[in-house]
Chains A and B, each alone.
Chain A
Amino acid sequence: MVKKETVRLMSEKKRNSPLLHIATPFIVLALCTGITAAALIKPYDKLKMYLNIAFMDTLKSEPGGDASGLVIKDNKIIEDYSGKTSSTGEVIRPKFGELFAMLKSEAFDVDVPVYWGSGSELLELGACQSTGSAVPGTEGNAVISAHVDTFFSGLDKLDIGDKITLSTNYGEFTYIVKELIEFKATNGKYVLPTEDTRLTLYTCKKDILGGSDQRFGVICELTESSFYTEAGGDAQ
C-alpha cells in the first residue's frame, strides 16, 4: 500500500516537472508548425498565381529590366474581336519576355497569359512559349509550358477531343487535343519543330517532392485559324 502510494507520488512529481511544462508547448508548436507548413504549400502556390495575374502591371519589371536584362512587356490581348477574319494572314512576332497570347480551355478551366520566352521569371507570370518553336499562326510546332502547381495544374484533366484556344492580337487559333503524351525531361522529342502545324502543351508530372523529371502534356491539332483583318484589332 505504502509502495503504491510512493509510486503514485513519484509519477505525480514527474508530471509536474518544470522540464515537461517547458518542453511540451515547444513540442506542440513544432508539430503544429510542421503540419501547417506542409498543408499550406499548395494554397500558397495558388495564391501567388492569382496575385501575379491580378497585379500583373504592378509586379512587372520596368523597361530596362533587371540585371539579367529581361524586359517584360505586358500587352492587352484582344478577346472580343467581332470584325472580319481570314484563314490566312500575317503574324506579329513577339519579343522575348512579351505577353503575346491568352490560352483558354474550358476543359481544364484555364485562362492564362502566354509569354514569348523561357526561364523561371517568366514561368512565374504565366505560360511560356519556347523561342525555338513556331509562332502561332505559322507552320510548325508551337510549344507552350507552365508550372504544374499553378497555371497548368489542371492539364491532366485534358482528354482527346477537348478544345483549346489561343488568342493573340493578330488572330485566334483553335486546336483540338489529339494525343496525350508523357516523356522525360531529358527527351526533347515532343518539343522539336515539326512539319505539321500543332500545339504542344506540357508541364511537370505531379510529384510530392516537386521538380519531377517526368513531363506530361498534350499534342493538339490546329482546326481553325482566324486572322484579324480589320483595323482596330491591334490593342498594343
Chain B
Amino acid sequence: MKGSNIAGAIAGAALACGIAAVIPLAAKAATPDEAAAVARSYGYSEEDIQRAYNEYEQNPELYPPEKIDEYIDKLHEAHQKQVSVVPQQTNVVIPALTTTTAAPAAQQGQEPESPVTPAPVDDDSITLTASDGSTLTRISREKFIALSYEDKLAYLSTFTEAQQQAIIDDLSPAENRSLLKQLPTDKKVEVIDKISEITSDMGMTITVEELSDDNVKIAMKNDKGELLNVSEAGASVEKTGYDRRGILTFCGGLFITALAGIAFVMRKCFGKEGNGEANE
C-alpha cells in the first residue's frame, strides 16, 4: 500500500478540491468526471477519486467548472514533481535491465568492451514517436513498474529529452502509481506543497500529520480549524484492533517473576532438607 500512501493522501486532498481533467491552454469548463479521468491517469487510487466525488457532491457550489480548470493546472504541476524530463546521460547501467552474459575474452591488442546502455529486448517493448519525430522503443510497463525510483529516472535519462517526454506522456496509471509510491520524502513534500496551493484560496488548509518514506497522512481543515477530511496513504484499511503487547508483556513479566519467586522460596525451604534426609 505504499503507492496508495502518497497517491491516497495527495489525491484525496487534490481531488477533493474538484481537480478535473484536460490541459487547458485556454479556459475550458471541465467536469468532475473529466477530473477523475485525469486523476486516474496520474495513478491516483479509486478510493481517493471516490473521496473527491463525495466532497464535490457535498459542496458543489465550491467547485464550479472554471475553478476546476485552475485546479487541473495545479494537478499537472504536481505531476511534474512526480516525474519530469532529466538531463540525458550516456553509459548508464541499470542492473535490473541488463542481460547477464559471459564477456568474450579480450584479445591481444583489443580493449575490453565498455558498459552499454541496456536495450529492451522483450516482446512487450513499446514503440513511441517523440515530438521531434524520432522513434524510440521503451521497456514494457511491467518492467518499468518493477524498477526502483532511481532506476526509473536513470532509465529515462538514456533517452533524449523529447523522447523522455514521450515516455512520460505515455505512462500508464499503474506506472504513475508506482512512481507516486516510490517518491522520496522530499519529493512528497514538493507535491503536497503544490496541492496546498489549490486549497489556499478556498479557505482550506492542508496539513501534513505524518510524513515518511513509508507513509503520508494529510488532513484538510477549514478556516476555523475544523477537520474536513483525512487521507492516509496505505491506511485505507483501518487499524481495528487494540495493541495488547504492552499490557500482556507486563502481565507476563509479573507472572514469571512470581513463579521465580515461588521457586526460590521452595528451594530455600525444602531443597537441602530433602538432600539431608536422603543421606541418612
Residues of B within 8 A of A45 (CB): 242
Which residue of chain B has the shortest Cβ distance to A120 in the bound complex? B239
User: Known: A20-B269, A148-B240. Is A34-B255 also a contact (CB below 8 A)?
Assistant: yes
Of A51-59, A68-76, A168-176, A219-227, the segment with at least 4 beta carbons within 8 Å of chain B is A68-76
Contact A96 B230 (CB under 8 A): yes
Q: Is the CB of B227 within 8 A of A71?
A: yes
Query: Could you tell me if A31 and B254 are in contact, using CB atoms closer than 8 angstroms?
Result: yes
| Contact indicator A202/B240 (Cβ below 8 Å) | yes
In the complex, chain A residues 82-132 whose Cβ is within 8 Å of any chain B Cβ: 93, 95-97, 117-120, 123, 128, 130-132
Interface centre among B48, B270, B273 (most CB of A within 10 A): B273
Question: What is the minimal beta-carbon distance from A227 to any residue of chain B, in angstroms?
Answer: 16
Beta-carbon contact of A14 and B242 below 8 Å? no
Complex Cα distance, B257 from A49, in Å, reads 33
B47 and A211 within 8 A (CB): no
A47 lies within 8 A of chain B by Cβ: no
Task: Give A125-152 as 1s and 0s: 1 = Cβ < 8 Å from B's Cβ atoms.
Answer: 0001011111100001000011111001
B37 to chain A, nearest CB (A): 15
B27 at the interface (CB under 8 A from A): no
Residue B95 lies at the interface, judged by CB distance under 8 Å to chain A: no
State the CA gap A57–B228 with chains docked (Å): 21
In the complex, A14→B268 CA distance in Å? 7
User: Which B residues, 225 to 244, have Cβ-Cβ distances below 8 Å to chain A?
Assistant: 225-232, 234-244
Chain A's closest residue to B207 (CB) is: A69
**Cα-based distance from A26 to B258 in the complex (angstroms):** 8
Of A20, A30, A71, the residue contacting B258 (CB under 8 A) is A30
Task: Assess whether A71 is in contact with B226, with CB atoms less than 8 Å apart.
Answer: yes
Task: For B8, list chain A residues within 8 Å (CB).
Answer: 132
Contact with B along A198-236 (1 / 0, CB 8 A): 000011110111111001000000000000000000000
Q: On chain B, which size bracket covers the interface? A: 35 or more
Which residues of B have CB within 8 Å of A149? Answer: 241-242
Interface string of B46-73 (1 = CB under 8 A from A): 1111110010011000000000000000
The one of B1, B247, B273 that contacts A7, using a Cβ cutoff of 8 Å: B273
The yes or no answer to A191 lying at the interface (CB within 8 A) is yes
For chain A residues 38-68, which have a beta carbon within 8 Å of chain B?
38, 41, 45, 64-65, 68
CA distance A185 to B231 in the complex (A): 16
Give the docked Cα–Cα distance between A182 and B126 (Å): 38
Q: A96-B227, A96-B229, A130-B47 are in contact. Are A211 and B244 (CB under 8 A)?
A: yes
Nearest CB in chain B: distance from A124 CB, A:
10
A193 and B46 contacting across the interface, CB-CB below 8 Å: yes
Distance A34 CA – B257 CA, assembled complex (angstroms): 10
Q: Are B51 and A132 in contact (CB under 8 A)?
A: yes
Q: Are A147 and B268 touching (Cβ within 8 A)?
A: no
Q: Are the C-beta atoms of B244 and A210 separated by less than 8 Å?
A: yes
Contact of B241 among A17, A68, A119, A147 (CB under 8 A): A147
- Whether A192 contacts B45 in the complex (CB less than 8 A), given A10-B273, A70-B227, A119-B230, comes out as yes
What string of 1s and 0s marks CB contacts (under 8 Å) between B204-228 and chain A?
0000000000000001010011111
At the interface, yes or no: B119 with Cβ under 8 Å from chain A? Answer: no
Whether A211 contacts B242 in the complex (CB less than 8 A), given A20-B268, A34-B255, A191-B47, comes out as yes
Given contacts A68-B219, A135-B54, contact A11 B1 (CB under 8 A): no
The answer for the CA separation of A31 and B237 in the assembled complex, in Å, is 38
> Could you say which of A34, A68, A97 has the most chain B C-beta atoms within 10 Å of its C-beta?
A34
Question: B201 at the A/B interface (Cβ < 8 Å)?
Answer: no
What is the bound-complex CA distance between A203 and B242, given in angstroms? 11
Other-chain contact of A11, B225, B229, B270 (Cβ < 8 Å): B270
Q: B4 in the interface, Cβ–Cβ < 8 Å? A: yes
Asked if B25 is at the interface (CB within 8 A of a chain A CB), the reply is no
Shortest Cβ distance from B36 into chain A, in angstroms? 11
Query: Given A93-B54, A193-B46, A38–B225 Cβ distance below 8 Å?
Result: no
Query: Are A15 and B238 also in contact (CB < 8 A) when A7-B276, A65-B227, A192-B47 are?
Result: no
Rounded to whole Å, the gap between the CB of B263 and the closest CB of chain A is 10
* 8 interchain pairs, CB-CB under 8 A: A7-B277, A11-B269, A120-B239, A132-B236, A147-B240, A210-B243, A211-B245, A215-B237
Listed in ascending order, the chain B residues whose CB lies under 8 Å from chain A are 1, 4, 8, 12, 45-51, 54, 57-58, 219, 221, 224-232, 234-245, 247-248, 250-255, 257-259, 261-262, 264-265, 268-270, 272-273, 276-277, 280
The 5 closest A-B pairs by CB, nearest first: A204-B241, A34-B254, A210-B244, A31-B258, A132-B47
